[in-house]
Amino acid sequence: MILVERELSGQRSRRRSSTRKADAKLSNAILQLGIDLHRAVHSGCKAGDEPKDNLLLSPYQIASALQLLYTGAQGDTAAQIGRAIGWPPQLSSKAKKRVSRYFARRDHHVMQGDAKSGFKSYYDCCLHRERGVALKTEFEAMLATGKASPSRQQSEESNTESSAPSRRRRMRCREHDFVNDSVHQRWKMEAQLTQAVPLLKGCGSYECLPWGSVGENTSLVLLCALGVKGRWRRRFDPAQVREGVFYEPANGELGCTDDQFCPRPVVMMHQTGCFRMADCGELEATALELPYKHAQRTLIILLPQRRDGLDALEARMTAAALAECIKNLKRRPYVDVSLPKFHMHSVADLVASLSSMGVDALFQKGVADLSGMCSTEGVALSSARHVAAFRASWKGASVARRRLRSLPPSTRSSPWTDLFCSWCAASGPTP
């Protein structure tokens, strides 16, 4: 399941061809980062003999945070971050400016809500630091999305310290006393995260920062969170919302062998209409596009062609294959779609995942070189966690109101993915 932003033709014409090509390369690199992280998280679960669980990742948000850390890193630390995102070993000053402009444009869309269309995305990225760790003034100034001076930014921070997090900033900074009060500071960071992303409140009990993850030796903690919910361009029929069956891997449960799938009763939503679809032969899957009421947001769901084909789909997945699949989406009439009504969340440990991908210097004291962002020596990123929440419901525009409206013009090249989801189940939307 992939959340995609469609680029309107008017926006496309305002940018030069060279800029569009550079943006396409960056978008594909970010998508590949999401795929690599997805595999790293699941491989870590298998190594720990834990059951494979649902996974939500925002490759763009993680890449945006890594890009900021990249600007403050030096030597091998910066090189490892660059390799993970797919950048050349040495970025020229011109390339660095192009990358910064790319994220500045994208961050504007991520941080901007659209209440009229009913699409809401809650975005928060915060760097929590021990009060003894000093950040350089120029690095703090760079974190702001606007071009305000450092003194003005500090004034804005002091005025909004007790209020909700400012969405004008790509990454916030908060000071804590980890040395003397790590338990209370851990609770405080959890509370700030839930305040920034209200969707996490409906996820039941979850723990972003496990007990013991923050202590007196903690220097820097990176917390990224994203929540997404929206109204469909064409709503699911409320009369057709009823109990259905969703198949999950047995995982050795009683009455099910390892090669079987156990049916689970879930609430399913149904609708029939014209949708864009594509047969992805390389992935052995079928792609279905569900457009949101928001003109530029769509949800693309990949359905394995076999009930036990999820592992094969994940193994074959590449950024190029996904981009080709999205490019081949075409309208098909009379498509019967069934989708579970659900609210899910996921917490990922980026330290373990990125370390397995070769980004390990960033998390080791005495090895990490963050001299471009910290005045204090010997500082490393002690913890990095990513939290995402997603809600899918039947709500959307009425059928009669939307039949006369056509889809906005768009380009199918270089889609920008904001959320990457893996369902740990064998049955998804059935076209």
pLDDT given for residue 423 in this prediction: 45
CATH fold group of domain 35-231+343-392 = Antithrombin; Chain I, domain 2 (3.30.497)
CB 114 within 8 A of CB 228: no
Tell me if residue 211 falls in helix, strand or coil: coil
Query: In Å, what is the CA distance from 393 to each residue of 238, 269, 335, 424?
Result: 10, 8, 19, 19
Q: What sign results for the dihedral spanned by CA atoms 354, 359, 362, 365?
A: positive
Domain boundaries, the chain: 35-231+343-392
Average pLDDT over residues 119-138: 90
Q: How far is CA 346 from CA 57, 91, 113, 417, in A?
A: 8, 33, 22, 17
Distance, in Å, from the CA atom of 69 to the CA atom of 67, rounded to the nearest integer, reads 5
Give the range among 17-21, 160-164, 185-189 with minimum mean pLDDT.
160-164
| Distance, CA of 199 to CA of 201 (rounded, Å) | 5
In this prediction, residue 166 carries a pLDDT of: 45
Q: What does the pLDDT average to over 309-314?
A: 84
**Residue 307 — pLDDT band, cuts 50, 70, 90?**
confident
Q: Is pLDDT above 90 for 249?
A: no
369 vs 122, residue with greater confidence: 369
Token pair in block for residue 8: 């309107």
* Mean pLDDT estimate for the chain: 78
User: For the residues 177-194, what does the mean pLDDT come to?
Assistant: 91
Q: Which of 160, 213, 204, 158 is nearest to 183 (CA)?
A: 213
| pTM of the predicted model as reported, rounded to 2 decimal places | 0.83
Residue 275, token pair as written in the block? 């949708």
> Span 111-124, mean pLDDT?
75
Q: Whole-angstrom Cα distance, residue 423 to residue 426? A: 8
> What pLDDT was estimated at residue 420?
60
Tell me the per-residue pLDDT of 342-351, one tens digit each, with 9 for 90 and over: 888 889 999 9
Q: How confident is the model at residue 219 (pLDDT cuts 50, 70, 90)?
A: very high
